[in-house]
Structure 1
Amino acid sequence: MKSKIVNIVGGILVLLGITSCNSYLEKESFDIITPEQVWKDPKLINGVMVNLYDGLQLEDFNYWYRDSWRLMNPSTLSDEAQGSFQKDPMFDNANATYTYEDALFEQKFADRYKLIRNCNDFIAQAEKATSLSDADKSMLLAEARFLRAMHYFTLVKRYGGVPLIDAPQTYDPANLESLMLPRSKEVEIYDFIIKECQEAAAILPVTRDAAAKYRANRGTALALCSRAALYAGSIARYGKVELDGLVGIPSSEANRFFQASYDASSAIIGLKVYSLYNKKADNKTQNYYEIFIKGNGDNGEFIFQKQYNVAGGKGHDWDKRNAPFSYRAGGWGCGVAPTMEMVEEYEYTDGTQGTLKLTDASGKPLRFNNPYDLFAGKDPRLFATIYLPGSPCKGSIMEWRRGVIESDTKRYVATSQPDGGNKVEINGVVYSTSGKDGGADAGDASKTGFYQKKFWDETLTDMNMGKSETPWPVFRLGEIYLNLAEAAMELGKTADALDAVNIIRNRAGIAPLTAITMDKIRHERKVELAFEGHRFWDMKRWRIAHLDVQQGGLNGFSGSALYPWYDIRDGKYIFEKGTNTPKQKRIFLEKNYYGKINANDMNSNPKLVQNPGYTN
């Protein structure tokens, strides 16, 4: 794809070669253009729309808190995973604790409201544009309203109520106070998002032509409605109201929001445009893996996605940053390390609990010819989502070993990352105490025994930064079925909830449920949507993050490991659970359900009120 640039002066944005639809971005080159000219040319108006898409905050492959090397993203900050890199401030020093930070994943008002202002300006200008047909104008306005709703959702899930600005503001240096609006109530922001999505969905087309297939359509607007309304319902049911409603939603509003989510999810399914990917129904592991691979974004399941293009300078770094140690090709890699707790969330295909069977009834360690055999019979989604000890990978296997057993009283443990030695000679034979992909508590390799497989491109040969093109699913049908299940359960529609969950389980290749509970729905959501950026926000909206780890929360969580040991006496493996990984235990405070509003934002608008538990 050729990236073309449009410079628009006078407050109009710069058109970037963003990573949505290839053909959509194939715009002609232009010289400097004035705002007056822009609104006389539908082609230029569409160019401005491209900028509006580019401003979306998508929690995708490039979304890290602070610097990317810290490995702090919504997966490693939930109970799905930990970061591997040993020098990361959050993940080193096992004797310390990590308190979730005040500004975690913040979106500064000064940044986000610039983009909201751009949407407002676009809407105001497009409404007056005489160069647009009524149909085109209506479509563009609906599209801009959806994008504006996305910006507000980015804010409300972090801060609760925020200033609601839905029209251009006039800058008057003699009256700056007119630009300073107070925060609206959290319920008002969610109501605004839902109303915008519902009205945009009524206008946007069910499908787009090839040139615009990655732009918002009816399903996209309904998907945001489904998700946002579900969040609002959960906050109403499980949260508390503070600051006179600036944060929190009255419990009396819960069912209204759950109904809106249920209706939006049902409407998406009723469109009959999307379907759960099932082209490899005879190989459930491969089928699930293929949903998330390069070149498969148009798989029928993705409702809204972010595409990447290396030739256009818009690749991403996921593969380089997350390759298992021996596959990283000269540094970096290892990134996100799923925990043993996450691995055990995956049930066995007969529907029994997913706890790994490490010992027999007497407590004696079970012995395996191949470490991969330990996981036999597990949910196929596990093998497609996580690299396990012994997992096939690019023509070899992922090899993670804690150490070597010589006798009942003599063991040799890995002491460095795989390229640091880890050799022991026993009776004239040299053994590796680690595998080629890790085993020690030191260095960059995974400390848990696992690596993330979902989204990792096994066909990629150029393991440098910016060479990945796997698409990111912003909304997909799998989530919508789970949104529907959760909203239905909250509304007492248990039969609908059970049906929706079993549709997901059937595609996965796991036994259907015969009865449904909220815990089972949340479990299915954790497994089906693993590493897609949902779990961290789900724990927050359910208000469980501040609970102790034994109660399903994040307090005291650091993540356990699985330790395979190779016994040279019979060439078999035994396993132990490692509960003392070299990672900090976490402290999530109740105030962390909402972020701290940036001090510069607070100082620039005296009408803002800071969130509970914080001071400027």
Structure 2
Amino acid sequence: MNKIFITFLAIVCFISCSDFLNKESFDIITPEQVWKEPKLINSVLVNLYDGLQVEDFNYWYRDAWRLINPTSMSDEAQGSFQKDPLFDNGSATYTYEDALFEQKFSDRYVFIRNCNDFLDQLEGAESLSSSQKEQLNAEVRFLRAMHYFSLVKRYGGVPLITAPQVYDPSNLESLAVSRNKEVEIYDFIVKECQAISEILPEIRPESEKYRANKGTALALCSRAALYAASIAKYGTVQLNGLVGIDQSETQRFYQSSYDASKALLDMAIYSLYSKNVNDRTQNYYEIFIKGNGDNGEYIFQKQYNVAGGKGHDWDKRNAPFSYRGGGWGCGMAPTLEMIETYEYMDGASGELKIKENGVPIRFSDPYSLFEGKDPRLFASVYLPGSPCKDSKIEWIRGIIISDTERHQATNQPDGGNTVEVNGVVYNTSGKDGGADAGDASKTGFYQKKFWDETLTDMNMGKSETPWPVFRLGEIYLNLAEAAFELDKKDEALSAVNKIRERAGIVEISEISIEKIRHERKVELAFEGHRYWDMKRWRIAHLDVSQGGLNGFRGSALYPWFDIRDQKFIFEIGTNTPKQTRIFLEKNYYTRIHNEDMNSNPNLVQNPGYTN
């Protein structure tokens, strides 16, 4: 039911088969009539699913062309376009915005109210059996818990409203609800998920397979409790607990996350995708391709359908320059720092070997530089020389004429980067980039994960790759982190090695929190986790040299083509034309919108912000 196009399909189906609708116009159906007809009740449920905020392919802060999403706002990638406010001026600095990824209360609480209304009216629905009511009740409580998780990870404590509010013009004060403590919101989410996981079915029939089930509830519990435990351990309590969680709660929340993760794994319904074990790169890539959402690893997913008018734009917005079909494309440009996070298959550090004894190594094919790296890198990132469709990615910084003469690309690939040498005309860039100007990647890399190489219609709204809201790879890593913090180090080590074994990289023999975080960064790259992980671990405000975002810009890898021997050498570019970032400690929580503050005098603004 979380197929977002299904509202239309459900209505069409209902119109075609319902005698009731043959008698009365659909646009005058009353609430009383809805609750007398199970099919109409399901249509209401569909709209509740449609209101979920899952930070998927269509999730951008402000305008999509600004390329600000959880990937580009972490240390995973830059946005390629030279657009404000973050990706326009290499000599400037960017301070993370007060309202970044805001969820205005006036917007989000509409959906919470809809859930509360549904739950309230469900009790009197005589057309449903008690068993049906119990199942629907649990399902909508899960949706409501998801809404609260979306809010709490942004704002900390928010008003906890679990029943419909009644508008009384003579008592408007009753609507001005105060904020609950952050711990109370996390407790609500965790306890709701624990309770409804005992009610929801483990497996749904084919027609309902995308609706929330037991595993979905446990997955949310696993994630939310882990966030709460991290905030308790690393955060600071402020405003009498409206933000922050007391350290005394740390172990309790880690235990809840551990229990939920273990229960989900013990169900033995989901498994790490391993259908192509002879090609680990292809195996990992296949997890995230169109038509493969039912791969056994996805616990909860968002599906798309172009025919139903519910496709997405990811491929158009993120295609490498020469594959974009005219305009847009190029979106997420992974940084060199991210590329070097991927280790070599033997477990060696991921730092690229571009020199030997201080002398640049020369390569006939730029792709050879990456030989032996973690297969997940090749499945997640387009590198210089990566195969793509029926050609290869070409990102070249410029050409070398002699030891003293070089010609660097100065325009985007279609801008005329040519130079004549001894009567021969050379292109100083590749077809996919090389210059600091224009839309093409400035790092030398493009995001491959989720990009559909089979897509031929490169227009907006033509993509159908599903989005993994929860998948088993995350649950293993949630378990590893919680187990480590609970001094269950053997279990933590085993969970991490399950992920590494599937990836095709050597297992580790010792475990640490740094190794768990490293594995999480690689395995869940570009899936929207890293930004929120850096916030819950309270490392985002640290200097880039300490693994934080302060001073982060993102480095590039520059392949140069030497026309003398037709070989490539590589240099590192640390001065990419992007703003240096500043993440302040107040940015761990988002500013509550002025409209919300003005409409409710009982709200208290988050620390560091003014109304």
Q: TM-score, normalised by structure 1?
A: 0.96
Determine the structure 1 residue equivalent to 2:365. Answer: 370
Q: How many residue pairs align between the two structures?
A: 601
Determine the structure 2 residue equivalent to 1:98. Answer: 94
Q: Identify which of 337, 350, 370 aligns with 1:341.
A: 337
> 1:428 Cα deviation (Å)?
1.2
What is the rounded CA distance, in whole Å, between the counterparts of 2:8 and 2:175 in structure 1?
A: 38
Q: Cα–Cα, structure 1 residues 297 and 22, in superposed 2: closer, same or farther, change >3 Å?
A: farther
What is the rounded CA distance, in whole Å, between the counterparts of 1:143 and 1:317 in structure 2?
A: 29
The alignment status of 1:352 with 2:338, answered yes or no, reads no
| Contact 1:23-1:212 at 8 Å conserved across structures | no
What is the rounded CA distance, in whole Å, between the counterparts of 1:338 and 1:24 in structure 2?
A: 40
What is the rounded CA distance, in whole Å, between the counterparts of 2:82 and 2:600 in structure 1?
A: 41
User: How do 1:79-118 and structure 2 match up within 5 A?
Assistant: 79-118=75-114
The alignment status of 1:607 with 2:593, answered yes or no, reads no
The alignment status of 1:522 with 2:508, answered yes or no, reads no
Q: Which amino acid aligns with 1:216?
A: A
Unaligned runs of 5+ in 1: 1-14
Q: Cα–Cα, structure 1 residues 277 and 24, in superposed 2: closer, same or farther, change >3 Å?
A: farther
User: How do 1:142-153 and structure 2 match up within 5 A?
Assistant: 142-153=138-149
The alignment status of 1:544 with 2:554, answered yes or no, reads no
Tell me which moved more, 18-27 or 468-477: 18-27
What is the rounded CA distance, in whole Å, between the counterparts of 2:153 and 2:11 in structure 1?
A: 31
What is the rounded CA distance, in whole Å, between the counterparts of 2:317 and 2:555 in structure 1?
A: 22
Q: Detail structure 1 runs of 4+ shifted over 3 Å in the superposition.
A: 19-27
What is the rounded CA distance, in whole Å, between the counterparts of 1:366 and 1:269 in structure 2?
A: 46
Q: Identify which of 266, 273, 278 aligns with 2:269.
A: 273
| Contact 1:21-1:307 at 8 Å conserved across structures | no
What is the rounded CA distance, in whole Å, between the counterparts of 2:70 and 2:489 in structure 1?
A: 30
| Contact 1:20-1:307 at 8 Å conserved across structures | no
Q: Structure 1, residues 281-317: CA drift from partner, whole Å, max 9, x if none?
A: 0000000000000000000000000000000000000
The alignment status of 1:580 with 2:566, answered yes or no, reads no
Q: Structure 1, residues 475-497: CA drift from partner, whole Å, max 9, x if none?
A: 00000000000000111110000
User: How do 1:16-165 and structure 2 match up within 5 A?
Assistant: 18-19=4-5, 27-29=13-15, 30=21, 31=26, 32-165=28-161
Q: Which amino acid aligns with 2:201?
A: P
Q: Structure 1, residues 213-263: CA drift from partner, whole Å, max 9, x if none?
A: 000000000000000000000000000000000000000000000000000
Q: Structure 1, residues 106-149: CA drift from partner, whole Å, max 9, x if none?
A: 00000111110100010010012111111110000000000000
The secondary structure found in structure 2 opposite 1:286 is helix
> 1:93 Cα deviation (Å)?
0.7
What is the rounded CA distance, in whole Å, between the counterparts of 1:21 and 1:408 in structure 2?
A: 65
| Contact 2:436-2:442 at 8 Å conserved across structures | yes
Q: Identify which of 411, 414, 422 aligns with 2:417.
A: 422
> 1:45 Cα deviation (Å)?
0.8
> 1:427 Cα deviation (Å)?
1.1
Q: Which amino acid aligns with 2:124?
A: K
| Contact 1:16-1:51 at 8 Å conserved across structures | no
Unaligned runs of 5+ in 2: 16-20
Q: Identify which of 279, 285, 290 aligns with 1:283.
A: 279
What is the rounded CA distance, in whole Å, between the counterparts of 1:181 and 1:23 in structure 2?
A: 38
Q: Identify which of 469, 472, 476 aligns with 2:467.
A: 472
Q: Which amino acid aligns with 1:497?
A: A
What is the rounded CA distance, in whole Å, between the counterparts of 1:21 and 1:273 in structure 2?
A: 28
> 1:88 Cα deviation (Å)?
3.4
Q: Cα–Cα, structure 1 residues 26 and 220, in superposed 2: closer, same or farther, change >3 Å?
A: farther
| Paired-residue identity, % | 75
Q: Which amino acid aligns with 1:18?
A: I
Determine the structure 1 residue equivalent to 2:196. Answer: 200
Q: Identify which of 230, 241, 253 aligns with 2:226.
A: 230
The secondary structure found in structure 1 opposite 2:160 is coil
Q: Which amino acid aligns with 1:548?
A: D
> 1:28 Cα deviation (Å)?
1.2
What is the rounded CA distance, in whole Å, between the counterparts of 2:552 and 2:61 in structure 1?
A: 19
Determine the structure 1 residue equivalent to 2:18. Answer: none
Determine the structure 2 residue equivalent to 1:314. Answer: 310
What is the rounded CA distance, in whole Å, between the counterparts of 1:26 and 1:257 in structure 2?
A: 45
What is the rounded CA distance, in whole Å, between the counterparts of 1:340 and 1:305 in structure 2?
A: 30
Determine the structure 1 residue equivalent to 2:404. Answer: 409
Q: Structure 1, residues 15-72: CA drift from partner, whole Å, max 9, x if none?
A: 9982369976763124121000111111111111101101101100000000000000
What is the rounded CA distance, in whole Å, between the counterparts of 1:493 and 1:117 in structure 2?
A: 41
Q: Cα–Cα, structure 1 residues 26 and 491, in superposed 2: closer, same or farther, change >3 Å?
A: farther
What is the rounded CA distance, in whole Å, between the counterparts of 2:2 and 2:515 in structure 1?
A: 44
What is the rounded CA distance, in whole Å, between the counterparts of 1:86 and 1:232 in structure 2?
A: 37
Q: Identify which of 212, 226, 237 aligns with 2:208.
A: 212
Tell me which moved more, 537-546 or 122-131: 122-131
> 1:425 Cα deviation (Å)?
0.9
> 1:430 Cα deviation (Å)?
1.1
What is the rounded CA distance, in whole Å, between the counterparts of 1:398 and 1:201 in structure 2?
A: 46
Q: Which amino acid aligns with 2:546?
A: Q
Tell me which moved more, 21-30 or 277-286: 21-30
Determine the structure 2 residue equivalent to 1:598. Answer: 593
Q: Which amino acid aligns with 1:492?
A: D
The secondary structure found in structure 1 opposite 2:344 is coil
Determine the structure 1 residue equivalent to 2:378. Answer: 383
Q: Which amino acid aligns with 1:494?
A: K
> 1:193 Cα deviation (Å)?
0.4
> 1:170 Cα deviation (Å)?
1.2
Tell me how large the CA RMSD over aligned residues is. 1.3
The secondary structure found in structure 2 opposite 1:407 is coil
